[in-house]
Amino acid sequence: MPPFPTIPLLHAAYAAGLDPRDVVAEAYRRLAAVDDPGIFLALVPQDAAQRAAAALPPFDPASHPLWGVPFAVKDNIDVAGLPTTAACPDFAYVPTETAPAVARLLAAGAILIGKTNLDQFATGLVGLRTPYPAPRNAIDPAYVPGGSSSGSAVAVAHGIVAFALGTDTAGSGRVPAALNNVVGLKPSLGAISSRGMLPACRTLDTLSVFAGTVADADAAFRVMVSPDSADPFSRALPVGAVPAGLPPGLRLGLPDAASLRFGGDDLSRTAFGATVADLEALAGAAAPIDFTPMFAVAALLYDGPWVAERYAAISAVMKSRPGILHPTTRAVIGAAERHTAADAFAGLYRLAELRRVAEAVWDRVDVLVVPTYPRPQTCAAVAADPIGPNSELGTYTNFVNLLDWCALAVPGRARADGFPAGITLLAPRGSDGLLAALGARLHAASATRIGAGTMPVPAAEPGPARAQPGEIELAVVGAHLSGLPLNRELVERGARYLRTVPTVPDYRLYALAGGPPQRPGLLRVATGGASIETEVWALAPAAFGDFVSGIPAPLGIGTLRLADGSTPKGFLVEAAGLEGSADITRHGGWRAYIARSAAA
């Protein structure tokens, strides 16, 4: 087993003859060596895990992309035959059915090691609200491991498993990742079935993934993505395959000076600034953004319908057996009893108002970057105050699911004392692929090692620059270019950026007259043409059809000839539609034209 079991390293070793039973044995050996009884609440017996490894079909990572990969599952997610406790032993039951998302991982060849500890009923961000021994932070046990998915993050950080499932309602899939120096993927809500997961807030919950690398987290995520007709919160949501590279013109935003909160911790502030510098070197300068509306959304989470939703999830326990709960869990969820139905609707109305304001940020930027947490919290601080430090850890996570955004937490530059200081990328729902491309590059640029080990972060591998089977290539030349106003129409349909390449010199570009303003037209000509900048994106056929159905005259879709020899579909204009237009061919592309116009 490699020093850290990334999927590519495991598969290379398997191709060279490694027996997956040896990998299973090494996972249990590492667990014993770590000697932390708080990580797992239930283990698959080692001989059973080795039988599962022996029963795998012949090695074929194309048909079984997680072949022989050890993983763990947070103990509020059902696995048939293993108890589900939600860190409440008097609540425990043994399910007869495995959660569909876990079943998909097993079908892809992954090998389950066990079920991990958590803040009871997934209520908390510290990882200490459990009646069992709390997992120790993998980097420094003086600090909290983070919650609620504490055991999953710690198991990955120690290299016991390649990836682990968590859940995320208010940051539970991101905060533990940052505190243990691993990746935490919080997908677009509804992309993964939540059936078989004990709810915290059903309208906000999602399964999440912890892994040593962005690529591994994304690989597990892709296996689980599937609509589930039996899950009323599942959505057939395009999440965008990982693009070949970073789209040019990517617009970044970060909290402005008044919105940056580090609790007076200069070490965390400095580390965040260093990671932002890495990010800006990759993708350009980030614009300052006022996070006042996001913080207002976050304030709703534990004051209104969503704490009542937590109460609803375990109402039978709260009404008849409250004494079985951890005292802090009972106090947090019990606060719902002071709210009325009118309060719940008031909260929903307020969220609708704030969401409208917050969503306007995507007119200015494509990706937001925030600290995953303001500063790390010590176990001693939480023992002295169980609520305050927990709340602070959620500063930049609590609003995300309420706003229906996706998120990716990646380790960044460490603090000067060596403790990790994570950074989180945020984007509109369906932008999961874009975040993976950016996050992988940032992780490789900023972090020096994976988890608590010494293995360096691998370089980010570029994705395929051509459409995959089942995709259609579309070349865009105008406002659908990355960083321009209509690019969201592609991203929201799950489009994947492939490459930037000019046309052959057979085209002329025009700024068309009439509305909407600033509309380009590309015309193929027999003589006097030039090369025009394009971006090529890949879409699924259904998304392509939905996109082109809204194209207004005199524009249409034809076949373009590009300088790399490819012939994607693309925007063309009818010759009759050029009346009153301006020939802007000399600029070489729409982006250069609008930049020149703005400068003038």
Q: Catalytic: 320?
A: no
Axis crossing angle, helix 305-313 with helix 327-334, rounded to the nearest 10: 130
Neighbours of 104 (CB within 10 A): 20
Q: Of the listed 149, 150, 152, 172, which one is catalytic?
A: 172
Give the C-alpha separation, 149 to 127, whole Å: 7
Give the C-alpha separation, 119 to 132, whole Å: 10
Q: Catalytic: 74?
A: yes
- Which residue in the block uniquely carries the two structure tokens 């394009």? 534
**Which tokens sit at 307?**
């704490």
Q: Which residues contact 55 (CB under 8 A, 6 or more apart)?
A: none
> Cα 444 vs. chain centroid, distance in angstroms?
17
Helix (H, G, I), strand (E, B) or coil at 21: helix
Question: In the sheet that 40-43 helps form, which strands lie side by side, from edge to edge?
Answer: 40-43, 111-116, 70-74, 163-168, 206-211, 183-186, 405-410, 423-428, 367-371, 252-255, 286-289
Helix (H, G, I), strand (E, B) or coil at 492: coil
Q: Of the listed 148, 194, 268, 581, which one is catalytic?
A: 148
Give the C-alpha separation, 33 to 125, whole Å: 26
Q: Catalytic: 229?
A: no
Distances (CA, A) of 274 to 180, 316, 342, 371, 436: 19, 48, 46, 12, 20
Catalogue the active-site residues. Answer: 74, 148, 172
